Chain A
Amino acid sequence: MYKKTVAELLAALADRTISSVELTGLFLARIERHAGLNAYITLEPERALADARAADALRLQGGDAPLLGVPIAHKDIFCTEGVRTTCGSRMLESFIAPYDATVTARLKAAGAVLLGKTNMDEFAMGSSNETSYFGPVANPWDTGRVPGGSSGGSAVAVAAGLAAAATGTDTGGSIRQPAALCGITGLKPSYGRVSRYGMIAFASSLDQGGPMTRSAEDAALMLQAMAGFDPRDSTSVDRVVPDYRATLGRSLKGLKIGVPTQFFGEGLSPDVRHGIEQALDVYRGLGARIVDVELPNSRLALPCYYVLAPCEASSNLARYDGVRYGYRTPGHESLIDMYKKTRAEGFGAEVKRRILIGTYALSAGYFDAYYVKSLRLRRLITEDFAHAFERCDVIAGPTAPSTAFPLQAKTDDPVAMYLNDIYTIPVNLAGLPAVSLPVGFDRLGLPVGLQLIGRYFDEPLLLNVAHGYQQETDWHRHFPPEFE
């Protein structure tokens, strides 16, 4: 049961093969057994079982909801009313959210049962889940390796059968890269598709919540519940939410897949390259045409991102000042001293690094050289995609340059760590939807992820292209053997 997709679990729940209480109990037991993975920060067993009982009761009365009784996990960046919401930080170690994020509320309304809150890089800043105040998360395919980040806990929860599905957020690759490293399907929707209200902000113009699942079909099911305009988020877009499952299974014959030459250059591991090429062969077999496209400015994405994201973060994280909630230093001599100590003690090194970078870049005399210039680069990168999409329907390439790397391999070298997101960051800058799906393993048996990028708001096509691949292959059904 724990290996089943959400679609399969919904069928099993519907025909009473299993109850939500049984299913929830099963996941809770597995979470406890595999606590060593450190996938969760906070568990809500009593609440989960109560919600499961309610779901079962509703089903018994003939009621239904799109995800009724399905146990899921939330990345600990989504506010959950009455539940601790830490964002992976000491700063919010004992913060109980007084309200529900829109995503949380919508999934609750869809009948999903919340198991708990998953581990993550502190304030979503990281690519290995090692910046979490609550310790690193182990990759179930090799527990000496990282799961990727920042949504590492969610990726592992899904990959190791500790939840049927999970939510994640993606600012520069934080859904797709851990999905790739853990062998699951992760979708970053178009910017504006999913409400950011109640999703703790890292970089507001880039952050987007999305599903992390075992299959593209499950991603469609989850997105269906998560997506839609929210009057509380001025950047959410008021567009009709299509029926994402309705367009799954359409033929891929004649589909034009663009492959950017820039995504296959220096830094890409041969095993990943090999995996991607094989995946493209599968698409050829399905009748798709592979065409070369150019994203000439994508090499500028990383420097552009590492100005804009820290700029926004430096301001977004100013509210953690020890005044109203969260961590406050125990001893201080003055207001300024309280601020300094609170923030020095409450934030980890990576968060502080980015706050400093952002504060510097926004300072008088530097603003034009960094922030304004980066906005120009962002426009160029966005235009690159627009041009590329004149030649193709989706863009395909690797999600990450390598498979999962050993714990602590890159913790001393921020730039090496940042390079993990070299293929995912341009997508956030352009606000486009993209999905990562497992397409095989490297020589060490670690999952390889394929990234598919779609046109703005073209999630239906993107999910269908991913789904078509998963109908043809079973890489997404592989399960880490130690956690069977």
Chain B
Amino acid sequence: MDWETVVGLEVHVQLLTASKAFSDAPARYGAAPNTQANVVDLAMPGVLPVMNREAVRMAAMFGAAIGARVNPRSVFARKNYFYPDLPKGYQISQYELPVVEHGTLTIDGDGAERSIRILRAHLEEDAGKSLHEDFHGMTGIDLNRAGIPLLEIVSQPDLRSPKEAVAYLKKLHTLVRYLRICDGNMQEGSFRCDANVSVRPRGQDTLGTRTEVKNINSFRFVERAIEYEVARQIDLIEGGGKVVQETRLYDSVKDETRPMRSKEEANDYRYFPDPDLPPLVLTQEFIDEAARALPELPDQKRQRFMRDYGLTAYDAGVLTASEETAAYFERVCEYAGAEPKLAANWVTGALGAYLNRDGLEIESSRISAEALAGLLRRIGDQTISGKIAKEVFEAMWASGKDADSVIDLRGLRQITDSGPIVAAIDAVFAAHPKQLEQYRTGQEKLFGFFVGQVMKATQGKANPAEVNRLLKERLSS
């Protein structure tokens, strides 16, 4: 049977506020355990929550960025369950009335743009962390994370393949970083994803029974976890079984999903409106202000790159995937006055590869935008050829020197004077009389051979166009 994959994602985005969602403790990552938690975070008797205005502003900005409705009135609810890293015994979240509803995110699907509906985004607080290692059979609790504001972004089940799920997640990742509401660090858990996965016979309208896959903390794992889960569900159904609605944990080491808790332990969260927090009421002014504060969004930037720089959709997409990359590219163009396509090739090509190899972000690139621009200028004014430029680039990366220093130091300046090139041509003819003879008797494909030999003789420094022109001249004389 032909099965269709149906995926919806729930993404938890840690908001980049200075203090926590409901207390004034700092929301810093990586501090010594339990040093970023105050009496409110510890749920001491008698403490009360107070909503962080900045977190609300960030949620409203996100709503505006996805064209969603930012609700003038939303309600905080308590999600009740016992766990040692949940100090109050409940999580403050939004249940029936979230702050953001009904937006869309456009992704590049297989071949065409696809619009993915976002059902809702709601504010809630993070839990602490349980540390099971190093405590000799006991569990350590670190409440630094407890109370950090989260925006939970819930998509409709509009994604049709693991690849689309990854595209959606990457797009969302790009967006929240553009908005500067999340640092997007998946290793540190600032950007986390759960997937609701089901399958159905292609053509069927109703949805199959879904499972929720948790603990997917990288783009690669999202794809693999969904692939695994889809295969598991298809095997199950084709073997005569039924998918059970349950929560499953993805194990990236074994590359499999397995049930997280049994049915008997299934929680009834007993949601009810939090009586400590009045409904969150946003004025139109506040909502408008958040919308006005939006930076140029990824899609807008991409369109502009295509329009103003004449880039392909693909190149523009790659360059605008992060705001830092886009800014780097624009600086290169500005300094170099270079052909944007050339700049795009270098940023997405060599630079991307080197950053990747050394595990660096573009902000800490060993070659600055100014330095790369310097290199591109030397290609443009024919001081060096594209081929030599690669060598220069590598030297720049290793030494931190600018392009001109590398070119001078290594004597890589391109030879455009006809004198030395003609001399080199004559030397090549003298060394290869047989080939010269063959060429002259009609084997014109040997022309390439001569070009190669001349380039070799000039250590690649000869201007290829000049070599071509002068070779033709000499051969026809």
Contact = CB atoms under 8 A, between A and B. Distances in A.
Interface of A: 77-79, 85, 87, 92, 95, 97-99, 101, 196-201, 203-205, 231-235, 311-312, 314-315, 317-319, 321, 323-325, 335, 339, 359, 362-364, 367, 371
Interface residues of B, number: 29
B272 A311 contact: yes
Contacts of B47: 197-198
A315 B89 contact: yes
Given A199-B46, A234-B276, A318 B84 contact: no
A315 B45 contact: no
A74 to B, nearest CB: 12
A315 B141 contact: no
**Top 7 A-B pairs ranked by shortest CB distance?**
A318-B89, A204-B275, A362-B270, A205-B275, A198-B46, A319-B43, A200-B45
Contacts of A315: 78, 80, 89-90, 270, 272
A215 B39 CA distance: 36
29 contacts: A79-B44, A79-B45, A95-B45, A99-B39, A197-B47, A200-B46, A201-B46, A201-B276, A203-B275, A204-B276, A232-B50, A233-B48, A233-B50, A234-B50, A234-B51, A235-B276, A235-B277, A314-B270, A315-B80, A318-B82, A318-B89, A319-B43, A319-B45, A319-B88, A319-B89, A321-B84, A323-B141, A324-B87, A362-B272
Contacts of A321: 82, 84, 89
Contacts of A364: 268, 270
A234 B47 CA distance: 11
B13 to A, nearest CB: 24
Contacts of A359: 270
B42 interface: yes
Contacts of B268: 363-364
A70 B89 CA distance: 39
Contacts of A85: 45
A200 B48 CA distance: 10
B278 interface: yes
A148 B49 CA distance: 32
A98 B42 CA distance: 11
Given A92-B45, A323-B141, A335 B84 contact: yes
A435 B78 CA distance: 33
Interface of B: 39, 42-51, 78, 80, 82, 84, 87-90, 139, 141, 268, 270-272, 275-278
A315 to B, nearest CB: 5
Given A234-B276, A323-B141, A335-B84, 5 more contacts: A95-B45, A204-B276, A314-B80, A318-B80, A319-B87
The residue in A97, A98, A199, A234 that gathers the most chain B C-beta atoms within 10 A of its C-beta is A234
Given A315-B272, A319-B89, A324 B42 contact: yes
A205 B78 CA distance: 14
The DSSP consensus for interface residues of chain B is loop
Nearest to B51: A234
Contacts of B46: 77-79, 97, 101, 196-201
A144 B272 CA distance: 42
B73 to A, nearest CB: 15
Nearest to A317: B89
A145 B271 CA distance: 41
A97 B44 contact: yes
Contacts of A204: 275-276
A234 B82 CA distance: 25
Contacts of B89: 315, 317-319, 321
B39 A87 contact: no
The DSSP consensus for interface residues of chain A is loop
A234 B48 contact: yes
A321 B44 CA distance: 12
A340 B468 CA distance: 88
Contacts of A87: 45
Nearest to B130: A335
Contacts of A101: 46
A314 B271 CA distance: 12
The residue in B39, B84, B272 that gathers the most chain A C-beta atoms within 10 A of its C-beta is B272
A124 B278 CA distance: 23
Nearest to A231: B50
A97 B90 contact: no
A234 B281 CA distance: 13
Contacts of A335: 84, 139
The residue in A97, A205, A317, A362 that gathers the most chain B C-beta atoms within 10 A of its C-beta is A362
The residue in A198, A359, A371 that gathers the most chain B C-beta atoms within 10 A of its C-beta is A198
Contacts of B45: 79, 85, 87, 92, 95, 97, 200-201, 319
B275 A99 contact: no
B88 A98 contact: no
A77 B48 CA distance: 14
Nearest to B88: A319
B138 to A, nearest CB: 11
Contacts of A95: 45
The residue in B45, B78, B80, B88 that gathers the most chain A C-beta atoms within 10 A of its C-beta is B45
B84 A98 contact: no
A363 B51 CA distance: 27
Contact of B80 (A98, A99, A197, A362): A362
A260 to B, nearest CB: 27
Given A233-B48, A318-B80, A323-B141, A371 B272 contact: yes
Given A235-B278, A318-B88, A362-B80, A367 B49 contact: no
A325 B270 contact: no
The residue in B46, B50, B80, B88 that gathers the most chain A C-beta atoms within 10 A of its C-beta is B46
Given A99-B44, A234-B50, A234-B278, A367 B272 contact: yes
A189 B38 CA distance: 29
B57 to A, nearest CB: 17
A318 B43 CA distance: 10
A451 to B, nearest CB: 25
A104 B271 CA distance: 32
Nearest to B22: A234
B270 A197 contact: no
B272 A232 contact: no
A321 to B, nearest CB: 6
A323 B50 contact: no
A478 to B, nearest CB: 35
Contacts of B272: 311, 315, 362, 367, 371
A354 to B, nearest CB: 15
A98 B40 CA distance: 11
A95 B39 CA distance: 14
The residue in B47, B268, B277 that gathers the most chain A C-beta atoms within 10 A of its C-beta is B47
Contacts of B80: 314-315, 318, 362
A363 B269 CA distance: 8
Nearest to B85: A323
Contacts of B275: 203-205, 235, 312
Contacts of A234: 48-51, 276-278
Nearest to B34: A324
Nearest to B277: A234
A424 B190 CA distance: 49
A359 B270 CA distance: 8
Nearest to A100: B46
A324 B270 contact: no
B48 A197 contact: yes
Nearest to B269: A364
A67 B123 CA distance: 43
A203 B139 CA distance: 32
Nearest to A201: B46
Contacts of B88: 318-319
Nearest to B79: A315
A245 B39 CA distance: 36
Contacts of A314: 80, 270
